[in-house]
Amino acid sequence: MASRKNSSGNRLNVGWQHGIDIDKNSRKVQCKYCQKIISGGIFRFKQHLACTRKDIEPCHQVPENIKQMILGVLVKNLEATEKKRKALQYSVNEDDDDEIKEISSKDKGKRVASGSGSTQTTLNQLLKKDIREEACRQIAKFFYTSAIPFNCVKNPEFLKALELVTKRGPGFKPPSYYDIREKYLKQEVDQTMNLLEEYKLEWKKPGCSIMSDGWTDKKRRCICNFLVNSPKGMVFLSSVDTSNMSKTADKVFEILDAIVERIGEEMLSK
């Protein structure tokens, strides 16, 4: 069915102000902003403009005011669908009528309740989805440009940081260069040293064991790590670069003796 037009010959649906009809059945629309051709009619094209990512690729070049306006139109059509379901009659053009039918079939059972706040509620839901996608892309970009290993996203501290930022809400001011390099680094060092003191107290009770682990780094340096193990857990103590050391029994004994003296011979397990 052909789309209804006004006296000047322009289609009434607001989506046609931002797209070009490229076939006679109006099922393919070319975006005026990104030049992409969207199949599926004017409804799917407006999803493209609104960047809802609902079964369609978003437009990354649409102006923000146009995106917000189209989002508002989509939300109002959702509400019109709800009202129509309740047998209220509304006058809409044929493009919007097709759109309402499509929304109704896809979103059956998922509609928001009609009322004064429902438009804003649905708009917020669409915006949150779009904002999350934008935020995730920005976080990924931060990883890429800082050459941060991807497996850092598995670090529980990363998730905790994001949760706390979310709780703070809009207007969160990130730590400065000084904060990261001085203030919070000193706090973490102090906290680590206090935790180490707690471990040392436990070492005196049942005793502890010194463990060593040798490996070669990317610069082909020989590194020997020393750790202390006890029922409370394992603690890293220090590292020694043994690249230029002769690996004789006397030298190994000398290194271990220094570690034992540092821990205290009376703390070692019998």
Helices (H) and strands (E) in the chain, counts: 8, 6
Contact in structure between 59 and 48 (CB atoms under 8 Å): yes
Q: What is the pLDDT of residues 184-233, one digit of tens each?
A: 999 999 998 898 888 888 888 877 888 888 888 888 888 888 889 888 88
Distance CA(127)–CA(109), nearest Å, equals 21
Q: What is the pLDDT of residues 85-114, one digit of tens each?
A: 665 444 445 455 555 555 554 454 444 334
Q: Residue 269 contacts by C-beta under 8 Å, 6 or more apart in sequence?
A: 206, 207, 208, 209
Q: Is the pLDDT of residue 64 over 80?
A: yes
Domain ranges of the chain: 14-135, 185-267
Distance CA(267)–CA(269), nearest Å, equals 7
Q: Is the pLDDT of residue 148 over 50?
A: yes
CA 93: distance to chain centroid?
Answer: 40
Confidence (pLDDT) at 260: 83
The pTM for the full model equals 0.47
147 SS3 class? coil
